[in-house]
Amino acid sequence: MMKKKLLYMALFVMFIQLNAQIGIKTATPQHTLHVNGSLQVVKDLNVGGDDRTKGNSGNKGEVLMSNGAGNAPVWKTIESENFLKVVYVGNKTDISPASGSYTGTHSTPVNTHESYSQTYVFNVSNKIDTAYLTYNSTTGLFTVVKPGFYNIVPYATYDLNLNPSGQTAGTANSYIQKVSPALTTLAGISTGHGERTTGLNHNLSSINFFNAGETFRIRCRYTQNFRLSSGNIHISYLTP
Least confident among 21-35, 92-106, 131-145, 212-226 = 21-35
**What confidence tens digit (pLDDT) does each residue in 65-121 have?**
787 887 888 887 766 666 789 999 999 999 999 999 999 988 877 776 788 999 999
Specify which residues 22 forms β-bridges with. 33
Q: How confident is the model at residue 6 (pLDDT cuts 50, 70, 90)?
A: low
Residues 6+ apart with CB under 8 A from 79: 85, 239, 240
CA–CA separation, 113 and 47 (whole Å)? 61
**What confidence tens digit (pLDDT) does each residue in 53-78 have?**
887 887 876 788 787 887 888 887 76
Q: Residue 10 pLDDT more than 70?
A: no
> Within 10 Å of residue 126's Cβ, how many Cβ atoms?
12
Q: Report the pLDDT averaged over residues 134-159.
A: 97
Q: How confident is the model at residue 26 (pLDDT cuts 50, 70, 90)?
A: confident
Least confident among 16-20, 123-127, 142-146, 205-209 = 16-20
pLDDT of residue 21: 81
pLDDT of residue 232: 98
SS (H, E, C) the chain: CHHHHHHHHHHHHHHHHHHCCEEECCCCCCCCEEECCCCCCCCCCCECCCCCCCCECCCCCCEEECCCCCCCCEEECHHHHCCEEEEEEEEECCCECCCCCECCCCCCCCCCCHHHCEECCCCEEEEECCCCEEEECCCCEEEECCCEEEEEEEEEEEECCCCCCCCCCEEEEEEEEEEECCCEEEEEEEEEECCCCCEEEEECCEEEEECCCCEEEEEEEECCCEEEEEEEEEEEEECC
Q: Report the pLDDT averaged over residues 194-212.
A: 95
pLDDT of residue 69: 82
